[in-house]
Chains A and B, each alone.
Chain A
Amino acid sequence: MKFLIAVLVGRFIRFVGKFVNRSSNLPGQVALKICPDLLQRFTLQGKFIAVTGSNGKTTSTNLIAHILRQAGYSVAINTEGSNLAPGVATTLLTSCTLSGKLPQDYLVLEVDERFTPIVFKDLQPDYLVVTNLFRDQVVRNGNPDIVFEKIQSAIPKKTTLILNGNDPITLQLAPENSRVIFGMEKTSRSAETSEFLTQDCKVCPKCFHKLRYNYYHYNHIGDFVCDFCGYRTPEIQYMATDVNFEAGTFVVQGENASVTYKTTFHIINTCGAIAACVTAGVPLAKAIQGAATFQVSKERYDEMDLSGRKAVLMLTKQNPTSLDQSISYTLEQPGEKTVVLHVNNVLYTEKKDISWLYDVTFERLKGKVNKIVCSGSRAYDIAVRLRQGGFTSDEFLVVDQLPQIKEEIKKTSGTIYILAASAFGNEDGILEALK
């Protein structure tokens, strides 16, 4: 009875909430208050694929759901930003029958790393995709070891892991569990020496001696080997080979595959999504077909015209790897460029720390862009960071009052790349100020 009331109240709040555009966490939050063991009470008729990791969870979750739907299966999925326990509860209570059955063929859930113990205690995934683990923003998340321990403690024995063969950290998860490995072969964009400041695996996670890389894809993701204890990249079943970035094509398990967002990061994650879907019962050809038509969310990447100049908006998470990826994308594009770095205080906390900006390799922009425009509540801190990286005062400018940004931008030239590092990016209206 408690369960039914929780579901009905949750659905009612969800229904009303749709009109006032409220967060998707509230219905689940209230339902969990009414029925604390709510998550345990659902019965899954299909298979449950969970996705966690530092970066690329939302895109991977959406991609997996897209592949499954294209292949003709019914899917329940949580929407972006609802990856904590209440958000998961909202998804389930809006997708179930009144008796608590989830009739869909697949349940696909993005679960925040820190919340895996809470969610998996009640709802055990058949498959768990771990995209990668990086140092997050210091203010929020603690360090990769702490996050690793959280996920480690959460993984049920029955869960099959879908792991990134190029990530020495996550490969160590639950060694007793069955696992499927995805990854990417050396490409034209791989590097012999790391060009990134952030490298969370400079030393071997098993023996703490220097970890050697045959090549890097980005940050600590690559082909690694420890000469001291022998820890190395394992055999990769779902390996992207023959990668052609211009065409967005690659080969996986001998079949031709393609993507519309043509980056290293996205191709590796696509291999992970294909691996998860095939392992969960989708034919390989169907999985590849689905991946080929997937579009990255417009909220994260958008192109527009600003007073006759082309502008590209990229919302990045407030962590170094995410911003590094946006810088990589910017550098891969042809033509003259101006980069706007828009950084606010970390959402929710209002803490002033910007240490994470020192782990972003802004140095790669040196000599490659017309100007860097620093904006947002931490604009001066970005400028100080750039100065430490060897940028001179004619290479950047600081906009400390957002309404002035339009005038300042006129002093620059080329395509405008707006790298907005705040949880929901546009909440303080940078786009409106630019228009």
Chain B
Amino acid sequence: MNQNYTILHLYSDTMDLYGDSFNVTAIANRLREMGDNCEILCANLGDDFDPMAADLIYMGHGKARNLAAIAPHFLSHGAAIKEAVEAGKIFLVTGSSRMLFGESFETYAHKIQEGLGLFPYTGVETGQVFTGDVVAHTRFDPSLRTYGFVNRTAYLVGENTHPLFDVQIGPGDGDGASAADHLEGTLYRNFFGTWQMGPLLARNPGLLREILRRLTGSEPEYDDSLEKKALELTLSEFDHH
């Protein structure tokens, strides 16, 4: 009956800017509430890690310098990470960590850093902070509406072959200036990637359910009416404008 789950939180000390770790907390809280065990492992610069040994891998948003600092260490585990993605392990990657999974990205010092090459996008660094609310519909369930926020200094170029969101309000993956910039994030097998930073799962009960569905293989049962109400109120404020 009781299941044991392991969450691997990659670079929890380095890629941690705005309450990102609450994505992990939100998953663990609900698993425990349903009577399952959940262990959270953190791996940081210099630590060895094995993504295949975890049930879910999380990586959050970090400063441009921090991203550049961890990139070589991350890529030294590249083969294992690619294998885990292709094997259908659940990944949640929020904020600037996404750039590690593309072809390449520009660092804060304007050097080109190679990525894993899982997805065909490349990251462009601007050195300027760009912020915005994002209201979107998810690709796995178009009736699901989400709210998120971006705070970033980079954007992506290249075709989005596996989008996670259709953006209704706010910036997509690109520089935010283009009207055609209506796609956001990545959903490939069980890999969820998005620019939307912070406690995304804590604020979006529908997204959290989808991840738990995929993780547990069944419809998760718990009361998330408070979370739904809070999200509904936030989304309604956009409709009134």
Contacts and interface: CB of A to CB of B under 8 A. Distances in A.
Interface of A: 135, 138-146, 197, 202-203, 208-210, 351-359, 380-381, 383-385, 387-388, 390, 393, 400
Contacts, number: 108
Contacts of B233: 380, 400
25 contacts: A135-B17, A138-B17, A138-B197, A139-B131, A140-B131, A141-B129, A142-B153, A145-B64, A146-B129, A146-B153, A202-B14, A351-B133, A352-B234, A356-B19, A357-B19, A358-B18, A358-B19, A358-B22, A380-B229, A381-B203, A385-B202, A387-B226, A388-B22, A388-B25, A388-B202
B98 to A, nearest CB: 16
Contact of A358 (B133, B199, B226): B199
Contacts of B230: 380-381, 383-384
Contacts of A353: 131, 133, 149, 151, 198
A352 B170 CA distance: 12
Interface stretch (B65-73, B82-90, B172-180): B65-73
Contacts of B151: 138-139, 142-143, 353
A139 B149 contact: yes
A380 B226 contact: yes
Given A209-B46, A380-B233, A355 B19 contact: yes
B153 to A, nearest CB: 7
A203 B14 CA distance: 7
Interface of B: 13-14, 16-19, 21-22, 25-26, 29, 44-46, 63-66, 69-70, 108, 127, 129, 131-133, 147, 149, 151, 153, 197-199, 202-203, 226-227, 229-230, 233-234, 237-238
B25 to A, nearest CB: 6
Contacts of B108: 145
Main secondary structure of the interface of A (DSSP, over half): helix
Contacts of A354: 203
A375 to B, nearest CB: 14
Given A139-B149, A146-B129, A388-B199, A355 B18 contact: yes
A197 B198 CA distance: 13
Contacts of A393: 226
B41 to A, nearest CB: 16
Contacts of B203: 354, 381, 384
A351 B203 CA distance: 15
Contacts of B198: 138, 353, 355, 358
Contacts of A197: 19, 21
B25 A202 contact: no
Contact of A143 (B63, B202, B226): B63
Most buried by B among A138, A141, A385: A138
Given A138-B197, A209-B46, A202 B234 contact: no
B131 A210 contact: no
The 4 closest A-B pairs by CB, nearest first: A358-B19, A355-B198, A142-B129, A380-B230
B205 to A, nearest CB: 9
B131 A351 contact: yes
Contacts of B64: 145
Contact of A381 (B17, B234, B238): B234
B131 A138 contact: yes
A388 B227 CA distance: 10
A284 to B, nearest CB: 39
Given A355-B18, A358-B18, A208 B226 contact: no
Given A138-B198, A358-B199, A383-B230, A203 B45 contact: yes
A354 B149 CA distance: 9
B44 to A, nearest CB: 7
A355 B199 contact: yes
